[in-house]
Structure 1
Amino acid sequence: MPVTAELRVYWFKRRLFEEKQAYSMKKTVHILAILSLFALSSPSMAQTETINLWPEGKVPNSKQSDIAEKSDTDAQGILRISGVTVPTITAYPAPKDKATGAAVMICPGGGYGILAASHEGSDFAKWFNERGISAFVLKYRLPNEKAMTHQHEVPLMDAMQGMKLIRQNAEKWNIDTDKIGVMGFSAGGHLAATLSTHHNMGAKASAEGKPNFSILIYPVISFLPAISHGGSRDNLLGPEKSEELIRYYSNELQVSEQTPPAFLVHAMDDTGVPVENSIEYYLALKKKKIPAEMHLYPKGGHGYGMRTEGKGSLANWPEAMEGWLYSAGYMKK
């Protein structure tokens, strides 16, 4: 069959089309490969992992209830979680090329009624990752007599278990077991200070539960009436509130030689949690000759996290924390 000029043109155009399609496919595959490599290597896209603190059906002090966990994000982008009855930790491992071996377990605040899980949790996890420090955001159970027995015991149980899990998985996350600290904000600061002072107390005492350092940001420390945050105290202690428990959970009274070093931040105009909470804890550490660094600022109020715009010199506090972490060997320059 003779090949006409029209047929030659048709086959030529078809060949050009197929070659163009093949080139386009190769280019797409190449771009996708580059994007995949970028995703794996980019610190800002590090893989997180959420782990239940306790095996299913074996959560201590737990009882059946109709309480349901709920998450809400407000117009300022602040995430608040309520009704927590299944505690977890979310791991943010530091990028391997930056990792210093240090790690921090972060306890968000919220008066033991909610968890401010973003600006006092995940935002700081990312900040630590950028500086080579692995971070773990603790979603601890919120005390409620409907969902648990002896509710005042529960947040500390969860914090102890979180610290143990981090230590037990240190090799997996490239962590030095002598460089694991705890950080807490407001009521989360009370939990962090309670872990720091109570890890060696009672039947559940454990060396694995001891933090190597603590970072306490506008923390609730005391339950004594003169300087306490009444809401945090009442939410934690619940119907078992007593003079004995008030003193037991007043952490300035529980500092011992086994309490780890601390870095503290507080604003003098904090009307929610009086600055005396940090001052009393600092003085208790000083009395026991435990290293401590405290930064007090004339204004800032409460609950700011890293949102310090318009709060004067308070904007310098993250830089001060950086310096402290570096001097203690938890961060590299």
Structure 2
Amino acid sequence: MKNLKFWLAALCLTVVFTAEAQEKKKFKVHTVGFYNLENLFDTINDTSKFDERSPIMEMKTKQFEVYQKKVKNMARVISEIGKDFTNNSPVILGVSEVENREVLEDVVNDPALIHQDYGIVHYNSPDVRSIDVALLYQKKFFTPLSTSSHELKIYDDNTKERKYTRDQLLVSGKLDGEMIHVIVNHWPSRSGGEARSRPKRVAAAKLTKRILDSLQSLDPYAKVFIMGDLNDDPTNASVTEVLQAQSDKDKVGFKGLYNPYSNMFKKEGLGTTAYRDAWSLFDQIMVTKPLIEKDYSSFTLYKAGIFNKNYLVNKKGRYKGYPKRSFADGGFTDGFSDHFPVYTLLIKEIKE
């Protein structure tokens, strides 16, 4: 179909495309996204963790008040990701920088989200900062069939001691009856410098690749989403060499990966987080080849984007133009996150 025109259905989760011949076809559309929630910790001191190092726990007063506002801010953003296109919040959302399942329960039970009836997939990981990844999903659209947590083992170059970091989460299930797989990541940070820390993210990418290979060995046509805060850009070796993600759909081979964020970064200069006046696009969603086929009888990637609404951006000060983060200079800013969320839109033709 050529010269497709896209508009929103006002009250239902459908998108209508009109071709030159005026033939009308209806498409179901869903949002699948990822969001780094920036230090979503509760106010309870867990003696088994180092959660006292979190920004909320370090505050001397109004901890619970700040926590409540932080939860409300996160729920507001999640409720609006992709809504302009679907009149709905994401049916599937990977998240990172959460302390435990309980903080996510508070988010999904906020008035902005409670009517969506989100389920949660979460495992406690051994991360030294006590932060995990997780998956939120709308129960009426997605049914998890299997979940697993995959440990990333990395070691200090000098001491050879293990550096504890986030596990990677795999969730497989049915989206409106169609099998998909989601791998949620939060790769090691650039602490100590990009070059020095690079091997840790390469190791993380290799773990992600092993998970992907295991899925594709069972089903070469598996529809897989790889998402997360990678702490690497789409142009870094972890993405281009280890995962071998392509920026051009036509170059994606059998069992290959397509990264729609690559050209956003290389050609448009877009980013999801900023540091020292430079933008990085650490938050990405990649998909396997079956999700970019021009076959609308099953779910297909329509577009990808960065959710960077005006209210998520700092309006003044030395961080003007940056994402409006929650915590800065030892206090709560009433902001959101130091990362913008990312999202993809999936479409599927509705046969009448």
TM-score, reference length from structure 2: 0.33
Q: Which structure has greater strand proportion?
A: 2
TM-score, reference length from structure 1: 0.34
Structure showing greater radius of gyration is: 1
Q: Which structure has greater helix proportion?
A: 1
RCO (CA 8 Å, sep 6+): is it higher in 1 or 2?
2
